[in-house]
Amino acid sequence: MSADLNLAAIGNGTIAALIDGSGRISWCCWPRIDGDPIFSALIGGDEPEAGFFDVVLDGQVKATRRYVENTAIIETVLENDQGAKLRITDFAPRFKLYDRIYRPSMLVRRIEPLSGMCRVTVRLRPHFKWGATRPAPVRGSNHMRFAGEDFALRATTDLPIVYIAEERPFVLSRSATVVLGPDEPFASGLIETTRGFEEKTREYWYEWVRFLSIPYEWQDAVIRSAISLKLCAYEETGGIVAALTTSIPEASGSIRNWDYRHCWLRDSYFTVRALNQLGATRTMEDYIRYLTTVIASDPSGRLAPVYSIVPGTPLDEGFAEALAGYRGMGPVRVGNQAAMQVQNDGYGHVVLAAAQMFFDHRLPNRGDLALFQLLEGVGARAVDFAFEPDAGLWELRGRRRIHTFSAVMGWAACDRLARIARRLGLAERGAFWKEQANTIRARVLSFAWDEKMGSFVDADREGQLDASLLLLAELGFVRPDDPRYVATVDRIGRDLKRNGYLMRYAGEDDFGLPETSFTICSFWYAGALDLIGRRDEAREMFESLLARRNDAGLLSEDIDNQTLELWGNIPQTYSMVGLIDTAMRLSKTWEEAFWRGS
């Protein structure tokens, strides 16, 4: 079975799992979203012997899948050549319990016969230590235990244990349940408990979605994107991963395989902003709590671009030698060397992520003087490092330059601090930060505009086109009607577009010429087109991007320039953020579309 990215995601803020179109759980880290994958068939080569959990229906000819509307619950229906059907329901429990959110490290799978005689084989094959060990199950009366060095996994079920332990085919004559969780006895009846968990989980997601401020158009796409972003937040600390996976290549046969199960300051800001637009501000509040811990961890004030979702955990980059990689395209990386890089845009992203805390009256705990003073420390470092050569937001490993985007984010930090200071009635501090912002802006404009190219460029030397320049107007650095910005948008559209979608840049980097378009860049382009008054083109681009989603409504990081196949880690928060941002920008308002009926 060759892996693909037609995957659906379930999760609960502690763990998450990816499920393919036939109901196979092919990815799940344990006991949290950045942990050791107990299921890793997704990156285990073409025919992995373990690292999955599936249900094989004899004579299967068809599989269909859907999310229970507005939830993170997946239903997969399998059908065989005799017309027999069964349904698999998968979810991770999440609901309010005793005034807090219950979100255990637990997966629930229910298998139900729908019609005909369903002869099935249940294959539960976890492994530990990144595929290096496959534990033998220890059988109990109604459970199996899989023990590793660091933790043990228990599968509790009302099926005959022998059928699962020995993978014997049997006729599924009634609904059956398998629960994967900690090595603890189930405290109550399995059927009653899991049915209750499912109902409460469904109600939780219904309630969460009900309070989203969604656009009139593209509602289902925005809701699915919002839920996907929610699944990427590790609520225990407030950290947000860039994606749920590691080492899905950016392109076929490339070695651009990275571990994205960590918290980038940049990506997390965009995630917080997108959810804030929808009114889901709790993720921002949790993230500010996370940032406070991160900032306090280094007295020097120097921020890394990426941290573990548990601050203080090292991210040393290594390789999982036992896993062959996605479609056999290794290496499989664990950890990320980017944590050691200098990337100076992070200071601006920290301030921008926190800014709404000072202005949003819905929040019970708004930004105060203490938070402002903490952010001033971040702003001071933004000023110090605005023009320090760095790896840039694309994390180039081979060279450093003074990057336009990094410097602009230094300006953004100072600009927002000035606004916050005025909000708090701190006129002197407001004037100070405004002066800092003006100084940075003037210097950036002295090198970022290239008269010969007729556009802004990405760095102070050897400047080239870069899709991040599309954000200059969105950030407020230049006006959308600035002729230099309009010319830059035009030039980027001409030079960076490949088969309808945008590259990050066109030149060679540490690994040669890029081969795939970077999905968020196409969303940025659609937004820029709208800002300069070309809304019809923007909507056309957006609709084209919507067509690239997989069957479950998810986007990965990259799109192949020739085949339009998805590549890169999934679900990519950057891409799902781009969908939400662009939909909110381009949709008709509810007043226009509903009340006025236009």
pLDDT digits (tens, 9 = 90+) for 28-62: 999 999 999 999 999 999 989 999 999 999 999 99
CB atoms closer than 10 angstroms to residue 37: 29
Of the candidates 378, 304, 301, the one whose C-alpha atom is nearest the C-alpha of residue 335 is: 304
188 and 263 in a common domain: no
Is 355 in a helix, a strand, or coil? helix
Q: Which residues contact 26 (CB under 8 A, 6 or more apart)?
A: 3, 7, 18, 19, 20, 39, 40, 41, 42, 51, 52
Residues 242, 498 contacting (CB under 8 angstroms): no
Calpha distance 383→443 (Å, rounded) = 12
568 domain-assigned: yes
**What's the 3-state SS for 231-293?**
HCEECCCCEECCCCCECCCCCCCCCCCCECCCEEHHHHHHHHHHHHHCCCCHHHHHHHHHHHH
Domain boundary among 185, 208, 231: 208
3 domain-assigned: no
291 and 192 in a common domain: no
Query: pLDDT tens digit string along 134-187?
Result: 999 999 989 999 998 888 999 999 999 999 999 999 999 999 999 999 998 888
Calpha distance 354→347 (Å, rounded) = 11
Of the candidates 41, 77, 48, 50, the one whose C-alpha atom is nearest the C-alpha of residue 62 is: 77
Calpha distance 384→410 (Å, rounded) = 9
139 and 119 in a common domain: yes
2 domain-assigned: no
What is the domain range of residue 560?
Answer: 211-595
275 and 147 in a common domain: no
258 and 193 in a common domain: no
334 and 387 in a common domain: yes
Alpha-helical (H) ranges within 328-426 are: 346-355, 369-385, 404-423
300 and 402 in a common domain: yes
* Number of domains present in the structure of the chain: 2
pLDDT in tens, the chain (598 residues): 578 999 999 999 999 999 999 999 999 999 999 999 999 999 999 989 999 999 999 999 999 999 999 999 999 999 999 999 999 999 999 999 998 999 999 999 999 999 999 999 999 999 999 999 999 999 998 999 999 888 899 999 999 999 999 999 999 999 999 999 999 888 889 999 999 999 999 999 999 999 999 999 999 999 999 999 999 999 999 999 999 999 999 999 888 999 999 999 999 999 999 999 999 999 999 999 999 999 988 888 899 999 999 999 999 999 999 999 999 999 999 999 999 999 999 999 999 999 999 999 999 989 999 999 999 999 999 999 999 999 999 888 778 899 999 999 999 999 999 999 999 999 999 999 999 999 999 999 999 999 999 999 999 988 999 999 999 999 999 999 999 999 999 999 999 999 999 999 988 777 778 889 999 999 999 999 999 999 999 999 999 999 999 999 999 999 999 999 999 999 999 999 999 999 999 999 988 887 665 5
φ, ψ (nearest 5 deg) of residue 394 = -90, 5
Calpha distance 163→101 (Å, rounded) = 35
Domain boundary among 146, 173, 208: 208
Of the candidates 440, 463, 443, 441, the one whose C-alpha atom is nearest the C-alpha of residue 453 is: 463
Note the pLDDT of residue 597: 59
Structure tokens given for 141: 């009366």
225 and 95 in a common domain: no
Domain boundary among 152, 178, 208: 208
Note the pLDDT of residue 598: 55
Residues 26, 39 contacting (CB under 8 angstroms): yes
Calpha distance 165→264 (Å, rounded) = 41
Q: Can you tell me which residue has the tokens 């990337």?
A: 343
Structure tokens given for 511: 């690994």
238 and 89 in a common domain: no
544 domain-assigned: yes
576 and 493 in a common domain: yes
Alpha-carbon distances of 496 from 401, 412, 527, 567, rounded to whole Å: 21, 26, 16, 18
CATH code of the domain covering residue 439: 1.50.10.10
479 domain-assigned: yes
177 and 295 in a common domain: no
Q: Which residues contact 156 (CB under 8 A, 6 or more apart)?
A: 142, 143, 178, 179, 181, 186, 190
φ, ψ (nearest 5 deg) of residue 319 = -130, 140
Q: Can you tell me which residue has the tokens 């379930």?
A: 10
229 domain-assigned: yes
Give the type of residue at 522. S
229 and 130 in a common domain: no
